[in-house]
Amino acid sequence: MATKYYITTPLYYVNAKPHIGHAYTNILCDTFARFHRLKDEDVFFMTGTDEHGTKIAKAAKDQGMEPKAYADQMIPHFESLWKLLGIQYDFFFRTTSQMHRGAVQQILKDLEAKGDIYKSKYVGWYSVKSETFYSESELVDGKCPDTGGEVQRIEEENYFFKMSKYRDWLIDYIQKTPGFIQPDMRRNEILGFLKQPLEDLCITRPRERLSWGIPYPGSDEYVIYVWFDALVNYVSGVGYARDAEQFKKWWPADVHVIGKDILRHHAVYWPIMLKACGIEMPKKILAHGWWTLSGAKVSKSSGNVVDPVGLSEKYGVDAFRYFLLNEVTLGLDGAYSEDLIRERYRTDLANDLGNLWFRTASMIDRYFGGKIPKPGPDTGSDALLSDAKALFSPVREAMETYNPRDALGLIWKVVKRANQYVEENKPWQLAKQESGKQKLADVLFVLADTLAHMACLLQPFLPGTAQKILTRLQLKSPLAAKSKSDFEQMFVKNDVSIERGDALFPKLEDEAA
Ligand code: ME8
């Protein structure tokens, strides 16, 4: 039976259109999902939207709409962006779906039966921006510590979940499970947070103040707190309390990819909710950093959004994907600027990869009538091709440890090396001498096969470009190399006619002479 791989994104609030930050998370997940599909694993990739709570109720009200109707008309913005960016998800989850409501209510009933829920007065502060409760001591200058936004003082009867009871268990679990929270700095942040006493979680809102939520089971007076509802998606999306067989197949999730802004919800609330219900832990919580603009987090509520649609249309989806995946090490923040995208486009993409394709295909056209030449017996031990073939294990290792930037760095070393190889071997001079004919054939065969190997590795990152290279070389696409020895085979075949095609990364319109 094929190994399964279940990967999730956060569920995004529908109060505004998605921006570069949301695009980043989904591009990361899509890259990992594609990588695992190419390994022939059974992949389930889930993304979706978070549609309840004060923030959405308010956004709908501002538009003079009912919350559900408001959410419905926001969905196409997400779906169309994911389509544009080539995000191949398997399921789009909405927290307003009927199947989800059942799972959330079931979890609450289970917790009640376990004695982990009680009713009490809540006194504290609530931030609508982050939809999170804070104690007085957590506020920073009287504002929300996570978003800097306004907080409201709340004093009301509510239901509580006994999180405090599980604090010691969680500390122990995190300490004993390396890699549960990645990167380490985020793991340390959570362990630091858990040094303080852990407060119980207020999990309801009185209906008279907020009616837009999942009803609390057996009560007309309360709706469930939006985060408690939303986190449950990760199990309800794969059949919890609905389809035992599906749930058994996919759970535990292999990775929940999130931004560092929602680390506490995922690394404290969620594991404790699961533990209390007797459900297995997800294998990993992977928190990436923030894209910033002029030093501030790109955020819809700050209004400094960077539009992924415009950038993808201007530079191409693959260039946008490449920029996001390559610019920062996963986990760290990245300062966004369009100049940086342009720089990457001109150098890595157009000059290195695009040029390598163009010169190789042009020379095969010119010297061999567009057919891949027959290599001599020594081609198999060629140093460039050996470097290319040696990438299988390190690229795999980088991807399995969630370091897409390292994987791209390794691939680009060989792409650059291949361009040097052209300079060193000077095919144009070989073509002038009769004695250079075989060497010329060898060099062009090696370049074509190196490109095929690079395209094979690049499929998860730059799906469109990789597919172009593979189909132009008359190879099948997708091209899966399941093992090291598969990858060490020659991919291209001599005598096959290739198609040079247009430039992979054409000169930018505003730079064309
Ligand atoms: O928090 N840089 O939804 P949300 C990088 N509904 N990533 C960013 C980013 C930035 N500047 N801004 C946003 C919620 N993101 C909840 C989640 S999950 C059960 C519920 C990405 O719409 C990043 O993944 O505010 C971050 O965690 C997420 O969007 C927050 O999306």
Residues 6+ apart with CB under 8 A from 107: 232, 240, 241, 273, 277
DSSP character for 140? Answer: B
Domains in the chain (CATH in brackets) are 337-487 (1.10.730.10)
Which ligand 1 atom is at minimum distance from the Cα of 261? 27
- Enumerate residue ranges in the chain where pLDDT < 50: none
Q: How far does residue 22's CA lie from ligand 1's centre (Å)? A: 6
Q: Each residue of 344-357: pLDDT tens digit?
A: 999 999 999 999 99
Q: For tokens 């699961």, name the residue.
A: 274
What is the structure's pLDDT at 513? 55
What is the structure's pLDDT at 346? 97
Q: For tokens 């969905």, name the residue.
A: 75
Where is the binding site for Zn(2+), in residues? 144
What is the structure's pLDDT at 25? 98
pTM recorded for the entire structure: 0.96
H-helix segments, 87-155: 98-113
Helices 67-84 and 20-38 sit at what angle, rounded to 10 degrees? 60
* Of 13, 108, 11, 97, residue with least CA distance to 54: 13
Instruction: Please answer whether residues 392 and 481 qualify as being in contact, where contact means their C-beta atoms are separated by less than 8 angstroms.
Output: yes
What is the structure's pLDDT at 510? 78
What is the structure's pLDDT at 512? 61
What is the structure's pLDDT at 489? 95
Where is the binding site, in residues? 144
Q: Each residue of 326-340: pLDDT tens digit?
A: 999 999 999 999 999
Instruction: Please answer whether residues 447 and 356 qualify as being in contact, where contact means their C-beta atoms are separated by less than 8 angstroms.
Output: yes
* Of 333, 372, 341, 395, residue with least CA distance to 510: 341
Number of other CB atoms surrounding residue 160 within 10 Å: 19
Instruction: Please answer whether residues 418 and 469 qualify as being in contact, where contact means their C-beta atoms are separated by less than 8 angstroms.
Output: no
Which ligand 1 atom is at minimum distance from the Cα of 257? 24
What is the structure's pLDDT at 485? 96
Tokens of 472: 């132009």
- Ligand 1, atom 8, lies closest to the CA of 21
> CA separation (Å) from 219 to 123, 335, 465?
21, 47, 55
Strand runs (DSSP E) across 105-239, as ranges? 117-127, 132-134, 152-161, 181-182, 201-202, 204-206, 222-224
Enumerate residues lining ligand 1, CB below 6 A: 10-13, 21-22, 24-25, 50, 230-231, 233, 258-259, 261-262, 290-291, 297-299
Q: How far does residue 258's CA lie from ligand 1's centre (Å)? A: 7
Q: How far does residue 331's CA lie from ligand 1's centre (Å)? A: 14
Instruction: Please answer whether residues 227 and 214 qualify as being in contact, where contact means their C-beta atoms are separated by less than 8 angstroms.
Output: no
Tokens of 239: 């059949």
What is the structure's pLDDT at 133? 87
Half-sphere exposure of 94 (CA within 13 A, CB side): 14
Q: How far does residue 13's CA lie from ligand 1's centre (Å)? A: 8
* Of 95, 17, 92, 91, residue with least CA distance to 50: 95
Q: How far does residue 495's CA lie from ligand 1's centre (Å)? A: 51
Determine the number of helices (DSSP H) and then strands (DSSP E) in the chain. 22, 15
Instruction: Please answer whether residues 132 and 149 qualify as being in contact, where contact means their C-beta atoms are separated by less than 8 angstroms.
Output: no
Integer Cα distance of 171 and 121 in angstroms:
28
Which ligand 1 atom is at minimum distance from the Cα of 289? 5
What is the structure's pLDDT at 282? 98
Residue type, 145: P
Residue type, 17: K
